[in-house]
Structure 1
Amino acid sequence: MVKLKSLLMAAAIWGLTSALAGCGGNDGNDAGTAGTGGQSNQSLAPVTLKVVVPGGKGANFDEVMSEVNKRLKADLNTQVDFTFIDFGDLNQKTNVMLASGENVDLIFDAPWLHLDSMSSQGFYEELTDLLNQYGSHVRETRPQQMWDANKINGKIYGVPLGSAYTQPRSVFIRKDLREKLNLPPVRTYEDLKAYLYAVHDREPGITPLIAGADDVTYSWVNWLVRDDTSLGVRPTNGIGASLMLYYKGNDGKVYNLFDAQEPKIWTYIEDTRKLFMDKVMSQDVMTNKSSQSDMQLQNKVAATPQMAFGIPQSFNDRLKQVVPDGELEAVRLFDLKLGSNLSNYKMDNFICIVKASKHKDRAMMFLDWANQKDNYDLLERGIEGKNWKAVGDHRYETLNSDGGIVSFQLMLNPVLEREWAGTDEETRKYNQFIAQADHFTKDIMTGFTFDPTPVKNEVAQFSTIQAKYYNGLFNGALDPDEYFAKFKAEGEAPLKKIQNELQKQVDAFLGKQS
């Protein structure tokens, strides 16, 4: 099962700037102004596209992809071959793939991964001409503002994947355990801690909490900071989702956690250390190789951070196979007050066409095919009538869940994404809130993209150093009094150079806006 990170929906609902039409690919038979350029399937040479995405195969993947390739063969004389990479290995393996010139046509990337640096180094094709020529459905399913906010140095290096202005985030807990422990519904972080400690004290066979050590985003401190609107802190993406460099409020300044231990962040770090020392946080948080979701659904863990506001039906179905009375519920710490959350309207995920691809035109044709309703439904939901059934134009019911490609990996957009018909009203309220731009305060950094090229050596150096300390500190496994000083001794110099370069570029960007 794909980690619930595959429910990740990133930030914004928008469209595309117009540009001159032209040819951007290498398939000699691919030409025209949109779709297949008006050509018949017979005029297109047979092509197999290599596509690299994160996560793993769903239960019905092979059957669904067989149908996908059958339709693709008929429509575009094309086949697709997917390679899946575990999230923990994604950065390293995709770096090697691109640097070595491995045969890849389409590849997933993200600001929290290495989208900016790979684009700046020329590994990805600029997409304006390809979109104008072959990508009408890709363009039209993403309104203008989405494209405007997700350019890199004014250019389009990836198709943005998202349907909301920020990530849905919650903590999945066991409702049946909470009720068994006679605890009220969890509304605050203090309520959540009370639940975790009650599980620790009275359910000795279950680990209360596990966070993510293979992804900075899922570290427990990062998780808490993102939902604390009183703090107003978010990562710069200059070094991924790390909070060692961060923006605070809307003042256009780049802050460095080595310079000053931001009081609230430091409080979260110390509090998370206490959770670990009290054995509320999993003692295996840094070495666990299993999916957090799998561990929870196997009755091993009572709480996990998840990129969703509601519980997927498949999760409760799987849990009940192990615990017949088991049931999950979502603890949402997200602030629903109008204007309390900042948004730069950037998506967290992108699909890119590799510069070295020999089939750029066909790759865009495939993306356009995938962004048409029937094909989108097949790719994400599986075979209609067997894996799922439609409920109106925008909702669905599951019959045999797990389709082919989860939409955030390849084609997620605000027009074609469906909502599960069983979604409760509270979850719908949260989902609908983050889908409205005017519910957010505009981030002063909207439209800014950091070019790491001037400090690429320092970024690589700091990344290696950070890997030794960050997730240990931000998940409570390392003593902050001892290890933060070691982290600073090794990482302060390269991080300061990155901060200075980032601030220089921010100042230049804001200067042009005034």
Structure 2
Amino acid sequence: MVGKQKKVLHLFISLVLVLTLLAACSNNSKTNNEPSPAPSKSTTTEGTNAEGNESSSSGIDTSERVELQFYMLGNAPKDLDKVEAQVNEWLLEDLNATVKFNYTTWTDWDQKYRLLLSTGQDVDLIFTAEWTQYQQYAKNGAFMRLDELLPVAAPKLYEFVPQDMWEAVKIDGNIYTVPATYKEYVTGGFVWREDLRVKHNLPKPVDIETFEAYLAGIKQNEPNIQPLAVGQDVGATLEDAYLDFQRQRVGAMPYGLHASYSDPSNIVGYWGSEEHLTDLKRYKSWADNGYFSKNELNETDGNQDKLTNGTAAAMLSDNPTRYNSVLNQMKALHPDWDLAYHPYGLTLGYATPVHPIHNGFAVPKNSKKAERALAFYELMVTDKRYNLLTQYGFEDVNYTVEDGYYKMIGDNTTNGFVREAMNGWAWRNPEYMIFEPSYDGVEAIFNELDKIQVPDIYTGFAEDYTPYQAERAALEQVEKQYLYPLMAGLVDDVEDGLKTFMEKANQAGLEKIQESYKQQWLQYLQESGHN
């Protein structure tokens, strides 16, 4: 009997040792970051991959291979396919997925954007900003609510973005986009060819009068260079920019409405006013003086490209970071050329730092792969491999890092993936960003603007255009048909042309639109404490 008990005891001890060994192996496996089952039916992909880089920390089911459709605005870089191939090699290992990077081009991007969100196309991630009407699209149900998805599918990303930024992008109390965390100023500023200014002893543009004098000097002394780059989107490049500086408006109010930053509750009709007529006559004089082409509405080249290749000498407005990018691309092609910048804020005495809504990515409501999309976007932001590759290309092929600074290999024509070629402003990670030496100048601008910064009280406003959606669509067509030619200087009789535009706009329902918008704006000011 005792012998049998000893045998049982030995068997029990042996079994305990085996179980202990198995547990040790299991723990060792987790230490080496092998996937392990989550408490639920989902499969966790937490840990690091074979190269020792951090992979997704999400707890989602990745058993089925999927292809994600990622949409960005603008033009695709030449070597996008090479970057995409490398991303997909990593992504298959990390999330059992691939991604297709799609671009709208800058031609009629707004119409293409609207179609992507309204026709049920296969889109899993799409760029958002206030200028792509994020607030309106979110309010009208175009995007998926992310409040519950983010902590599950992208917990590291959810922790990475500060809580106040999550709060700032909420529409009606819900999160619909993942904001960028890089603090910058995207307020406007005059941009010009500084080498030509010095060469011809022209004034430095710091206001509209000195800017006009610079344009006149270029026209007189450089007959083969267009003084001002405008492009087909005259609403943004002329009217928006001009009103920001000359009339200090609170934000890019639509439908011909205007309110100043200093008195935001005093919202009035700008279209058809004496101020509007005066401004249109000024644009007309610029066109008549040959400062910009009579063919601007048909242009396909970007305004920044015109500065880079030397076909234009100035822009009415651009932001400091993009100015710096254009400067570096221009210098790579023409080392003896120079570009300069004067931010509006230094003349006006105030500047608003970028609102978190300005750059982001949302998941459209029709996406069938929302969890995987967010897990992938987490990698784009927080994984150094994905972030550096999609922002700068391949090191030692597209760029090198010298003394901590980014240096492009080749120039803008030979390099297939220049800095931020994917227009990846939304997934910038301040911890990984690499700047050119000239960025020290941009940082100096930001430091100056920090001294005069005031809150952005416009971008948090979410318009609900449901009550006037049909009128809004009709008005948009009227703008393009009658107002854009006026701004582009194509209408001989500006006063009569403005009268015609206002008649057509009123027929389209302008009064109804403006009244509804005013009510919403005033309610927002009261609720937010900005009135």
**Are 1:138 and 2:148 counterparts?**
no
Which amino acid in 2 is paired with 1:256?
G
Residues 507 and 31 of structure 1, relative CA distance in 2, 3 Å threshold: farther
Residues 354 and 417 of structure 1, relative CA distance in 2, 3 Å threshold: same
CA drift at 1:128? 1.0
Residues 216 and 284 of structure 1, relative CA distance in 2, 3 Å threshold: same
Which residue pairs with 1:463 in the alignment? 476
Consecutive unaligned residues in structure 1, runs of 5 or more: 1-27
Which residue pairs with 1:284 in the alignment? 295
Which residue pairs with 1:274 in the alignment? 285
Residues 337 and 286 of structure 1, relative CA distance in 2, 3 Å threshold: closer
Q: Secondary structure at the match of 2:141?
A: coil
CA drift at 1:391? 5.9
Which residue pairs with 2:35 in the alignment? none
CA drift at 1:390? 4.1
Note the alpha carbon deviations across 1:51-107, whole angstroms, 9 max, x for none: 111111223322222222222222222211011112232221222233221111112
Q: Secondary structure at the match of 2:324?
A: coil
Consecutive unaligned residues in structure 2, runs of 5 or more: 1-40, 48-54
Which residue pairs with 1:246 in the alignment? 258
Task: Give the one of 374, 377, 390 matched to 1:379.
Answer: 390
Task: Give the one of 264, 271, 293 matched to 1:258.
Answer: 271
Task: Give the one of 409, 430, 439 matched to 1:399.
Answer: 409
Kindly indicate whether the alpha-carbon contact (under 8 Å) linking 1:109 and 1:349 is maintained by their aligned counterparts in 2: yes
Task: Give the one of 57, 74, 90 matched to 2:109.
Answer: 90
Which residue pairs with 1:194 in the alignment? 213
Which residue pairs with 1:232 in the alignment? 248
In structure 1, C-alpha distance between the alignment counterparts of 2:273 and 2:127, rounded to whole Å:
35
Which residue pairs with 1:117 in the alignment? 136
In structure 2, C-alpha distance between the alignment counterparts of 1:355 and 1:151, rounded to whole Å:
16
Which amino acid in 1 is paired with 2:280?
I
Which has the larger share of helix? Answer: 2
Which residue pairs with 2:495 in the alignment? 481
More off after superposition, 96-105 vs 416-425: 416-425
Note the alpha carbon deviations across 1:151-174, whole angstroms, 9 max, x for none: 222211122246336414334322
Which residue pairs with 2:4 in the alignment? none
Kindly indicate whether the alpha-carbon contact (under 8 Å) linking 1:173 and 1:302 is maintained by their aligned counterparts in 2: yes
**Are 1:490 and 2:490 counterparts?**
no
Matched length = 470
Which amino acid in 2 is paired with 1:226?
D
Residues 459 and 336 of structure 1, relative CA distance in 2, 3 Å threshold: same
Percent identity (aligned): 23
Point out the structure with max Rg over C-alpha.
Answer: 2
Kindly indicate whether the alpha-carbon contact (under 8 Å) linking 1:336 and 1:430 is maintained by their aligned counterparts in 2: no
TM-score by length of 1: 0.81
In structure 1, C-alpha distance between the alignment counterparts of 2:60 and 2:270, rounded to whole Å:
58
Which residue pairs with 2:18 in the alignment? none
Which residue pairs with 1:427 in the alignment? 442
CA RMSD of aligned residues (A): 3.2
Q: Secondary structure at the match of 2:218?
A: helix
Which residue pairs with 2:368 in the alignment? 358
Which residue pairs with 2:51 in the alignment? none
Kindly indicate whether the alpha-carbon contact (under 8 Å) linking 1:48 and 1:79 is maintained by their aligned counterparts in 2: yes
Kindly indicate whether the alpha-carbon contact (under 8 Å) linking 1:49 and 1:81 is maintained by their aligned counterparts in 2: yes
TM-score by length of 2: 0.79
Relative contact order, higher structure (CA 8 A, sep 6+)? 1
**Are 1:502 and 2:517 counterparts?**
yes
Kindly indicate whether the alpha-carbon contact (under 8 Å) linking 1:146 and 1:346 is maintained by their aligned counterparts in 2: yes
Residues 371 and 150 of structure 1, relative CA distance in 2, 3 Å threshold: same
Which residue pairs with 1:7 in the alignment? none
Equivalence map 1:163-178=2 (5 Å): 163-164=182-183, 166-178=185-197
Which residue pairs with 2:175 in the alignment? 156
